[in-house]
Amino acid sequence: MKQLMLAFIAWVSLGISAGAAAPRPALLMPSETLFVLSVPDWESAVQAFEGSSVGRLWVDPSFKPFRNKLMAGITEGVVGPMEKELGLKLSEFSGLLRGQLTLAVTQEKGEGAAAGAPGVVLVLDSRQESEALRKLIATLKRKWIDAGRQIKTQRIRDVEFSSLIVRSAELSGLVGAVFQDATGEGNGEASGVPGEELEIVLGQSESLLLIGNSAKTLERVLIRQAGGLVPPLEENPDFDLARADGFADAVAFGWVQFTPIYEAMVRQAVASEAGGGGSPFAPRADKVLEATGLNGLKSLAFRVNSGPDGILGEALVGVPLDARLGIFKALIAEAKDSAPPPFVPGDAVRFSRWRLDGRKAWDTLEAMVTGISPELGALLQMGMATAGKDKDPNFDLRRNLFGNLGDDFIVYEKAPRSTNLEGLGSAASLFLIGSPNAEELARAIKAGTSLLPIAPSEGGDEREFLGRKIYSIPLPSIPSAAGAEPVKRSFSFAASGGYVALTEDTAMLEEFLRAENTSGRPLREVPGLGDASQRVDGMGNGFFGYENQRENMRVLLEALKTDLGRIQQMLGSSDQANDWIDLSLLPPFDAISKYFHFVVYSGRATPRALAWKFFAPTPPAAP
């Protein structure tokens, strides 16, 4: 009986061990990881995509003609030639993807020529399909040998790995063949150095397919898989920001350790200057990098989540509060109300509000220039002291212009009046600068524009409108279609309500100036906007934005239909590639409008990082 119980316990233990889930990416990758891009659970990610409005749009029957032609072109022009050269079906590998899919770059340590070289590893978790994965790897190795290519076998931590040796000339030939079939251009001939070789190491450990460029990199991953003593990425201090914010549990996430990248940039810059590669009068590259504040940047991270209520994304720039210098100090918004003001109309298709202290930002940027080069800083100071003095001895650029900047910058845009290529590029937008003395700021801008080479000597036009003075400065004309007159442009601005409004669209400026006398629903009352803003931490963190995806997509599709021929030419000169992307097969917007709604986004500064979030709520009409 005792022996039977021990046998049962051993059998259960073996079963648990065989079916154990692979470690999460942050535990599987070593602490020396510099970059990781991961979908921690592929099956869950596929379900999230299929349930999203984007996923439902992709399989919508009205989208089927365009989708099928695009996918057939990619299969025949790219996947087919690649499979022919490699002798395998890529779908066989993708069909085994069940768990995580992770790509990582690590920093090799030690001595010798390989020290410091990046290690690359790709991990695919087949979960319960490990036996099918084993057979597929065996088939790949057999076909590789049958094709006369070199292969070596080695054991890493008692796991068999195969090194596929690829000469650069063969790799160039593969890329050339695929490129030729995909675009109809090129000759597909090999162009690499004949003696140069690339080693691709691949093998299977339990349910994981591991592919890398060095045995040393894969060995550390194997140790982490077994729970060994190699420290995991999760214990990297720079990864703590992403770990604490739950990034590693998202549908998809990415992370970059920036400190080694910055150090490499400095070394390269110093080496280049030591070799005589730069001008002796140019600022030192390491000083430029330091003054910008990049030395304070520790890491970058992003994540994407999807649920029944919509798609949520977040990005973090890991710059601790005490390390924020240069651009990271200049561009930080203050935690103030950033909601759309009442005068922003409800038909605006884009809006953003940035509560940046303009005077402090300019002082910081000026200090950054001086830090890069005291000589440049002195020239900037002299230029500001003398600017405009020839026209007005009392004009002081620093006092009149930068001294009158407030802490409120707003831009909003309306849909273009014509749905063609020209219309897409000339949508009406208005830029607002908050100021404690808007009238003086407007006059300072007028004086400043007279210094620009595009401004006429007489300083442009001035006119009265509803008791406000509108300044207009002519701009260079835009070339038009053959035989047509060039499109004339002008830059207009005026002060009103504590703002200076600037635009190329005079009608939009006049609409802003008469805003107190107009009625209609403002943007801030758009249904669902308030609730959606809570998913991005509200409208009180200093930066908030909105985009009407439905209206923007409607305009885009109409422009595609209107200028189909010209757009096809812009996509490329390849007839075959153009045939894949057959824009004439796109459905009318009314057939797919139910999949589009709006997007909101916000930014905020925390003691550990600068953070941005975006949220695309599920359209209320989506099936």
Would you place residue 3 in the very low, low, confident or very high pLDDT band (cuts 50, 70, 90)?
very low
Q: How many CB atoms sit inside 10 A of residue 580's CB?
A: 20
pTM of the model as a whole: 0.85
What pLDDT does residue 458 have? 46
Reduced to 3 states (helix: H, G, I; strand: E, B; else coil), residue 188 is coil
Mean pLDDT of the chain: 82
What pLDDT does residue 455 have? 46
What pLDDT does residue 584 have? 82
The pair phi, psi for residue 382, each rounded to 5°, is -65, -40
Instruction: State how far the Cα of 25 lies from the Cα of 208, in Å rounded to an integer.
Output: 12
Question: 252-263: per-residue pLDDT in tens?
Answer: 999 999 998 898
Question: 5-57: per-residue pLDDT in tens?
Answer: 333 333 333 333 344 578 889 999 999 999 999 999 999 999 999 999 999 99
Classify residue 132 by its DSSP letter.
Answer: H
What pLDDT does residue 271 have? 78
DSSP one-letter string for 334-374: PS---SPPTTSBTTEEEEEEE---HHHHHHHHHHHHHHH-H
More confident residue, 520 or 233: 233
Would you place residue 494 in the very low, low, confident or very high pLDDT band (cuts 50, 70, 90)?
very high
158: left (phi over 0), alpha (psi -120 to 50) or beta: left
List the alpha helices (DSSP H) in 450-584.
506-513, 529-534, 549-562, 564-571, 575-580
10, 217 Cβ separation under 8 angstroms? no
